[in-house]
Structures are given as C-alpha cells and as structure tokens.
C-alpha cells in the first residue's frame, strides 16, 4: 500500500486544506509511487506561518544550550536511521546508495557541528569611548524563517538551513522540492522524535507557485533561504525586496577544473570522473567544464572517454551501478536539448549524447554519460548550467588562458586546479572567481565546517555551513551600558 503523508503544522500532521494531493515517484522506476503528499496552497502556508509566529517567542527564549541538546539528538537519530534514509533518497531522488549515505552523513556532521555552536553564539566586546561605559554586540534570532530547498541533496541541504536556523532561536516554515517530499517528511519526523516543541518547525509540501510563493510574500516571514535555479532565485529576491526580508540565495554553477601540463593525470582523471558524473551531474558544484593544457589534452581526453565508457547506469540500489537516473522527465528533455545545442554549435561529441532506452531504461529517466571536446568558451554548453551527466573539455594554451576561460561564465561557485607547482596553485586560489577552490581535487566535496556559496550570479553574498551559518541566521544588536550615573554624550563628551 502506498504511504500517505501529511503536512506538519503546529506539531500536528494534517492534510492540505483543499484535500488535494500529488505523488512522488521513483525516477528509476516511474511505476513505483514513493508516497502521496498534500498539495499545499496559500491557506496551508498561512497556517504554518501562524504556528511558527506563535512559537517564536517561547523558542527564542529557550536557552541556546537547551536548543543545542535537541539538535544533537537530531544528529544521533540521523545516525540511527542512516541506512533507511539513504535508501529512501536513492528511491526518491535517484542517486546511488553510497551517495545517499554520504548525503545523510553530511547532515549528521552538520547536526554535531551546529550543536556545539549552542554554547558559543559568539558576540563581541569592544572598548567604549567614555569612562564607566561598557560596549558589546550580541546575536539574536531573526524570527520566522522560510526555507525552500532543492531535490538533489534532500537531507544534506535542508540540514544546512534547518539546523542553524533552529539553533539560533528562529522558527521555520519548510517547503521542500516537490520531487523529494518523502525525504523531507522523514527528516521532520526526526525533529519531532528529538523533542522539538510544536510550531518551531513546520512542513508544507507542494509546488513552488502554490506553496513557495506565499512564504515569500508573507511579511511575517523575516528571512528566506533558497537553494535552486538562478531564474527562481532572482524572482524570490525581487519579490522579497518589497518587504525588505533578509534573503539568502544559493543558485547555479558552471564549475571549471583546470588540468595543467604538470598535473598528476591519473589523479586528475579520477577527479574528472567523480566531479562530472557523481550524482549523475546533478550538483550545483558538478565539474561541468574541464580546461586542459594543450600539452596533455589529447592523452587526458582519450583516457577520460575510455573510463567514462565503463560507467554503469541503472537503479542506485544495485551494487554495480555508478550513475542513477536524472530526477524527472523534464530534466531528461532539458539535458538532451543541451546536447543537441552543443552539436549545432560545433562541439565534438566523443561519448554519449542520448537518452537510454530499452529494457530497464524504459522504466526511468536515464541519460548516457556524455563528453564533448573542442568546446569554445562562448558556446552555450560552456556557459549555461545543464545539470546532468554532460562535461565539456576545453583546451588552453597556458595558465593565463585557462583562468580566462574558467572565469568566463556568469557563475562563480566552485573551481579546481590540478598541478604539481605549489606557486601556481596559490596563484589559482587568488585568480579563480569562485566561492570555493580545490587544489588537486575535483569541484565537489565541500565539508560542513567551512562556508559554502559562490560569487557573481551563483548567489547574493551569503554563505551556508561553517561559522557563517550562525551569522546568517541571527541579527546583530549593539548594546551600550552606562554605569557612570550621569548623562554622557558620545563623541561630544570624549575627554
């Protein structure tokens, strides 16, 4: 029997006000229904915001170390349910099981890290200008926070937002991607099991225009954190600007990996395969452009094609599978359209470039790993985010040429360089326009103790994870305590 899920509002699991529902299906076996979910609309979102608004004052007054105890329990429960959650991710999102485990482990790590911040939440003390006066800065919660998350990391990315937001004393309305609502519901159930008070976390499932837009529009939501496409992020920023909400955006990427003539080619090839085809290329940090020095380009390209030919595509619960399906039919069509654009632009198709059909492939959304060579940096396939198992190999005649190509897109999320020259590596760290740079590693693999985010059109200057998470989900208050017993006029009465 197919499981029927509900929204979680004010500590209760309830249906959508309209009674309408939608299905989540397995992208590897589209005949399998993962669950049935409430198709939430404005009335449901308003109810969730009502609950979060009512819960904010008592939760914000709960001591931060006590809030942290609940976050730690969430982490320990995630450890307990890690295998079940990983399998659910594979069935609902499509990534292979090992990657599902990694996704959940990232949330476990985040919970433990953020729980530790409950005894810090550091402010600052500074000298006052006047005698008998004390000056300091403290951090306070923002209020009701709206979190809108993507489908490609259905446990990890929500953990980057939910855990610090709640630890900092905010209350939350959580709208997950409509492709992965089961993962979101299971995650919320873990918060409930950990003892989170009613109303602190509220879940509404549904589609962006129906369930996401009302979160953006409601003036009681004082902050929005969104991860997803640049087009949607721009629209959220424009709408939220009318009510002066704080907005945190993490959007697209077109991430370059530079392979210099002195690189360890074996290491670079392993990194290219993992960076380009891990999660079937459905990562904002995916290695979508490989910029190779001409001295080693032919050798590198030949070996990369030979290795990519051996990648096995199928259902991620099968032990011998390297790549799972893409998320849905629309994404499958989008990937294929971009491949056709690449052909029309004159790029050389070396591998793949087709939707997989026949047998087991007819049941899901599968695309063959695809490699283009002779890609010019002005081509659309070198400029626009494809979000699939497609990588472009781009020749470069020098380090300067490689950096120019790497920086030629509107995006600036992740970047990498493979070289044995330590001086060149440090030069690249300075020159690459990106929020993240790896040396002798691909563009994927961020850890939770450092900030995550990008520059240019990738985001709007905010960062997730690390100590930045605490800064993002708090407001700063400056405090002056005058114990002189007389009026002191700053700047005027300075002795």
Q: Which of 99, 210, 250, 433 is catalytic?
A: 250
Is 250 noted as a catalytic residue in this protein? yes
Strand partners, 477: 138
- How far is Cα 400 from Cα 342, in angstroms, rounded to an integer? 25
- How far is Cα 214 from Cα 191, in angstroms, rounded to an integer? 24
- How far is Cα 470 from Cα 297, in angstroms, rounded to an integer? 44
> Residue 10: helix, strand or coil by DSSP?
coil
> Residue 424: helix, strand or coil by DSSP?
helix
- How far is Cα 389 from Cα 376, in angstroms, rounded to an integer? 19
Q: Which two tokens stand for residue 473?
A: 């989900």
Q: Is 394 exposed, middle or buried (0-12, 13-18, 19+ CB in 10 A)?
A: buried
Give me the DSSP letters along 113-133.
Answer: HHHHHTTT---EEE--SSTTE
Strand partners, 13: 8
| CB neighbour burial string for 285-317, b if at least 16 within 10 angstroms, e if fewer | bbbbbbbbbeebbeebbeebbeebeebebbbbe
Q: Which two tokens stand for residue 249?
A: 């955006």
- How far is Cα 115 from Cα 257, in angstroms, rounded to an integer? 35
> Residue 468: helix, strand or coil by DSSP?
helix
- How far is Cα 46 from Cα 33, in angstroms, rounded to an integer? 29
Is 91 noted as a catalytic residue in this protein? no
Task: Pinpoint the alpha helices (H) of 81-212.
Answer: 82-92, 97-117, 156-167, 181-193
Q: Is 146 left (phi over 0), alpha (psi -120 to 50) or beta?
A: beta
Q: Which two tokens stand for residue 69?
A: 């105890």
Count CB-CB contacts under 10 A for residue 397.
11
Q: Euclidean distance between the first and final Cα of the chain, in Å?
A: 79
Which backbone phi and psi does 45 adopt, to 5 degrees? -65, -40
Residue with tokens 């937001």: 165
Radius of gyration of the chain (CA): 24
Give me the DSSP letters along 318-357.
Answer: STT-SB---S-HHHHHHHHHHHHHHHHHT-EEEE--SB--
Which backbone phi and psi does 321 adopt, to 5 degrees? -95, 135
Give me the DSSP letters along 282-308.
Answer: -STT-EEEEEEEHHHHHHHHHHHHHHH
Q: Which of 91, 106, 284, 433 is catalytic?
A: 284
Sign of the C-alpha dihedral computed for residues 221, 223, 227 and 232 taken in this order = positive
Catalytic residue ranges: 250, 284
């Amino acid at each position: 029997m197919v499981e029927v899920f509900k929204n979680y509002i004010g500590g209760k699991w309830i249906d959508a006000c309209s009674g309408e529902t939608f299905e989540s299906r397995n992208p590897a076996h589209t005949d399998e229904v993962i669950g049935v979910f409430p198709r939430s609309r404005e009335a449901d979102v308003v109810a969730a915001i009502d609950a979060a608004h009512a819960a904010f004052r008592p939760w914000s007054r709960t001591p931060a170390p006590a809030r942290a105890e609940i976050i730690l329990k969430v982490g320990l429960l995630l450890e307990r349910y890690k295998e079940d959650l990983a399998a659910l991710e594979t069935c609902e999102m499509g990534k292979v099981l090992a990657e599902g485990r990694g996704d959940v482990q990232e949330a476990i790590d985040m919970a433990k890290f953020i729980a530790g911040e409950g005894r810090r939440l550091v402010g600052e003390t500074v000298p006052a200008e006047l005698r008998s006066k004390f000056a300091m800065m403290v951090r306070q919660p923002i209020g009701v926070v709206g979190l809108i998350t993507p489908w490609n990391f259905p446990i990890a990315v929500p953990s980057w937002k939910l855990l610090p937001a709640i630890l900092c004393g905010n209350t939350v309305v959580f709208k997950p991607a409509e492709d992965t609502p089961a993962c979101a519901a299971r995650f919320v159930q873990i918060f409930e099991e950990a003892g989170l008070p009613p109303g602190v976390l509220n879940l509404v499932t549904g589609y962006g225009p129906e369930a996401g837009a009302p979160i953006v529009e409601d003036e009681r939501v004082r902050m929005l954190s969104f991860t997803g496409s640049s087009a949607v992020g721009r629209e959220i920023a424009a709408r939220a600007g009318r009510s002066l909400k704080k907005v945190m955006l993490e959007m697209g990427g077109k991430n370059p990996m530079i392979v210099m003539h002195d690189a360890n080619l074996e290491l670079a090839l392993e990194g290219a395969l993992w960076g380009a085809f891990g999660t079937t290329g459905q990562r904002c940090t995916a290695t979508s452009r490989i910029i190779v020095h001409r001295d080693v380009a032919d050798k590198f390209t030949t070996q990369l094609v030979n290795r990519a030919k051996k990648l096995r595509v199928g259902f991620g619960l099968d032990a011998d599978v390297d790549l799972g399906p893409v998320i849905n039919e629309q994404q499958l069509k989008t990937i294929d359209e971009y491949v056709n654009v690449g052909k029309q632009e004159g790029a050389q198709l070396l591998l793949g470039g087709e939707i997989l059909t026949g047998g087991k492939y007819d049941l899901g959304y599968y695309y063959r790993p695809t490699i283009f060579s002779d890609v010019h940096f002005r081509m659309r396939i070198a400029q626009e985010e494809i979000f699939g198992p497609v990588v472009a190999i781009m020749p470069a005649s020098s380090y300067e040429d490689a950096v120019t190509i790497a920086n030629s897109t509107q995006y600036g999320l992740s970047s990498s360089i493979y070289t044995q020259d330590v001086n060149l590596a440090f030069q690249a760290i300075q020159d690459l326009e990106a929020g993240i740079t790896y040396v002798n590693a691909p563009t994927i693999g961020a850890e939770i103790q450092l900030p995550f985010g990008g520059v240019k059109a990738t985001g709007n200057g905010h960062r997730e994870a690390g100590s930045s998470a605490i800064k993002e989900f708090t407001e700063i208050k400056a405090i002056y305590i005058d114990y002189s017993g007389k009026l002191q006029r700053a700047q005027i009465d300075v002795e």
